[in-house]
Each structure stands twice: as structure tokens, then as C-alpha cells.
Amino acid sequence: MSRQRYDVLVVGAGHGGAQLAIALRQAKYEGSIALVGDEPELPYERPPLSKDYLAGEKEFERLLIRPLGFWSERDVALLPGKRVVAVDPAAHEVGCEDGSRFDYGKLVWAAGGVPRRLSCVGGDLPGVHTVRTRADVDRMRDELATVERVAVIGGGYIGLEAAAILAKAGKKVAVFEALDRVLARVAGEALSRFYEEEHRAHGVDVRLGAMVDCIEETGGRASGVRLADGSVTPCEMIVVGIGIVPAVGPLLAAGARGGNGVAVDAQCRTTLPDIFAIGDCALHSNPFADGAQVRLESVQNANDQANVVAKVIAGAETAYDAVPWFWSNQYDLKLQTVGLSIGHDAAIVRGDPAARTFSVIYLKRGRVIALDCVNAIKDYVQGRRLVMERLEVAPDRLADTSVPLKEMLP
């Protein structure tokens, strides 16, 4: 029996996968394209899941990256509800969980990651939720009416955004963070302390250095969080935001180099022939991290890597060197970040956190490598070039809010 063959087969119909197909058609690529995805929906935006979609303020249709007609008009085949479980690089073929198989010319792996689960006793009880897919959030929303107390495990962006929405909805929220500050993996101390205080001011019980021992159970459901110190916080819902595990199993099994993600070069090629990887699962050398191997979990990275691969497949020369940026909305605070603060050796606070509009500017060996801007859009826009050009600016000038950042450009 002849199998369906696509010139470009994309595994994962999320941000990266959708953008790849969009960019290929924009580049006038005429080959056949298919998006295989294990979720049932059309490609949709993930950031609102922990923000206005969780709050019930945005309909799912408004999350769609493009409406249904867009894909058919551009002859992009959507193959939803299919999970790729095997890749045969020599035969240029993939196999799905449901037994279907497809041949490809080029394979683009854009499978993102799966939320890391709690490994402790009770970590998989009903009432314990992760926030990665529409289905995850629909399950939470279905339960919320009967929930008064929520425990959020993990003080990263997703946990804190969910905490903000749930606190605003009138729930009694506690956040448990194992480290001694929230956002420790992604931001400097000044930003962490600011967000801690904001959450406390909104009634959220922020617990730092909190080691979860197990999830308590009552009547077959999660009913509380027990910490290593023996204390128990009762709740009806638990939200776990402790990171993702990159979804790269079939690629690594097929021999691709990787570990924490699949290793790619500057054109997002894996070590397997005709196989690219983009987005959350792509382990790449990033010029904004001094060339260190990183995985970035952001819409910017997924989209920009998709654009690179689309150009390469369409025959152009290019390399991934986009400046990283990210945003997070909590309460009325709009955080915008540019650059990567990993490895900074100084952090300058510009503006007054108490006034709820300020930026933290990160330096490495005297050069600007990143900015976190809270309700400070001008700093974000003007600071971008400081990061892109890694400019050297004296700390006292950076801290001086009477001088716009654009005046510090050469």
C-alpha cells in the first residue's frame, strides 16, 4: 500500500509548527506540507492558557493562530490527534501511535515538551493539574466553581500567572517554591523580590524554601500539600508548574544527538539527515548566551527558529541569531524581557519598584546583556539595541531615569 508522502512533514502543531508552515508558504514554497499534532485542535496560542483563557475572559476561538480556512487555502494538511512515536531517518518515514505512517522529504520536529510531574506520593491524584494544553485548562476551569483553596507548586512564570488569575477570581492561593526566591531560574533577585511582594499584596501566601513531601488525599482526590517540615496546607486544587521535559524521545531513539532537548546547529538541523528541530525542544547554541547550549521556552524562539528553517528549506542562506524576548502578565503588571540574563555579574535597578514601573538591567563584564521591564515599555523598546549590540554603559547612567535609554546608544 502506498503511504502518503509530504515534502515537509512537521511534527507538532503548536507555535513553531504552525509558523513553519506559514513561513514556507510566505516564501512561495510549493511543496506539500503537513502538520501532524497529537492535540485535537487547530494550532492555537499557548500563553493565554495561564492568563485570560484560564480567567475565562477569552474564548478558545480567539486563541487560534489562524482560522481553519487559512490552512486549506494554503494547502497545508492538518493531521490532528496523531502522535508520532517512531522516526526512521534512513527510510524518511515516521510512524504514529494509531499505526498510520508517513513518508517525508524533510522532517521538522516541533513537539515542544510535556509538563514535569510531581514525583512524590499523590502527585497524580485527581485535582492535581498542569498547564500546557487547552485540555489541561478546560479541566481546571470545570473544577474551579467548587474550589476555594488552590496550592500552586512552582514559582516560575506559569505558576505565578496562574496564581494571579486565581487570586483575582477570589480563590485563596498559596505558592510553594523550593528555592529561596520565585523566578530564580529566569530573573535576578530584584525582580523576584518585587513579584513576591506583589503576590503577597494580593493575598497570595508565598512560601519559599518549601520542599513538597507529598500530596494528601481525601476520598480519592488531592486535598492538601504536605511539606518536608510536616506542615499541611489544605486545598481543593493543585497547580503544578515545575518546568517541562522536552518531547524528543522518538528522535533520540532514532540516533539524534541530544539529551535535554535535541541538539541543532545554527540552521536548526539535527544530526540526522533532513531532520530539523525548532522551539522548546531545540537545544541550540545561542549568541545571546555567549554561545552556550540552551533551550528557550518562548513564542519568540519557536517563531524565529521556524522562520530560519522555512528559509533554509526554501533555499536561502540564514542562521538563527534572533534576540530573545518574552513577556508575562500578572495582575496589572506587564513584564517584558529582552536578552538572556543567565551569567550576569551585575543587575542595575532603573526606576522605583514601589512605583510599579521599573526595569532591571543585567550586565556581564560591563556590557548590557538583558533587561526585565515592568510596566516600562519605553525601556523595553529602547533597551533592545543595548542588548543587541552588547553596549558598555556605566551603571550610574543606566540607573538614571532622567536619561532615556535611547540616549545611551552610540
Ligand X SMILES: Cc1cc2nc3c(=O)[nH]c(=O)nc-3n(C[C@H](O)[C@H](O)[C@H](O)COP(=O)(O)OP(=O)(O)OC[C@H]3O[C@@H](n4cnc5c(N)ncnc54)[C@H](O)[C@@H]3O)c2cc1C
Q: Which is nearer to ligand X, 41 or 205 (CB)?
A: 41
Binding residues among 145-204 for ligand X as defined by CB under 6 A: 158
Q: Which is nearer to ligand X, 97 or 345 (CB)?
A: 97
Q: Which is nearer to ligand X, 162 or 348 (CB)?
A: 162
Smallest gap from residue 268 Cβ to ligand X (A):
11
Q: Which is nearer to ligand X, 76 or 302 (CB)?
A: 302
Distances (CA, A) of 89 to 35, 274, 309, 312: 18, 8, 18, 19
Binding residues among 116-145 for ligand X as defined by CB under 6 A: 131-132
Q: Is 15 in the site for ligand X (CB under 6 A)?
A: yes
Binding mask 69-108 for ligand X (x = CB under 6 A): --------------xx------------------------
Q: Is 110 in the site for ligand X (CB under 6 A)?
A: yes
Among 23, 210, 299, 370, binds ligand X (CB under 6 A): 299
Binding residues among 229-288 for ligand X as defined by CB under 6 A: 247, 279-280
Q: Which is nearer to ligand X, 16 or 258 (CB)?
A: 16
CA gap 48, 60 in Å, rounded: 10
Q: Which residue, 275, 368, 265, 282, is CA-closest to 320?
A: 265
Q: Which residue, 31, 36, 40, is CA-closest to 13?
A: 36
Q: Which residues pair with 359 in a beta bridge?
A: 350, 373
CA gap 3, 102 in Å, rounded: 6
The sign one gets for the Cα dihedral 178, 180, 181, 184 is negative
Query: What are the cell numbers at 395?
Result: 551603571
Smallest gap from residue 213 Cβ to ligand X (A):
26
Size of the site for ligand X (CB under 6 A): 34
Binding mask 27-66 for ligand X (x = CB under 6 A): ---------xxxx------xx-xx----------------
**Residue number with the smallest Cβ distance to ligand X:** 14
Smallest gap from residue 336 Cβ to ligand X (A):
10
Q: Which is nearer to ligand X, 131 or 408 (CB)?
A: 131
Binding mask 338-377 for ligand X (x = CB under 6 A): ----------------------------------------
- Which residues lie near ligand X (CB under 6 A)? 11-17, 36-39, 46-47, 49-50, 83-84, 110-112, 131-132, 158, 247, 279-280, 297-300, 302, 326-328
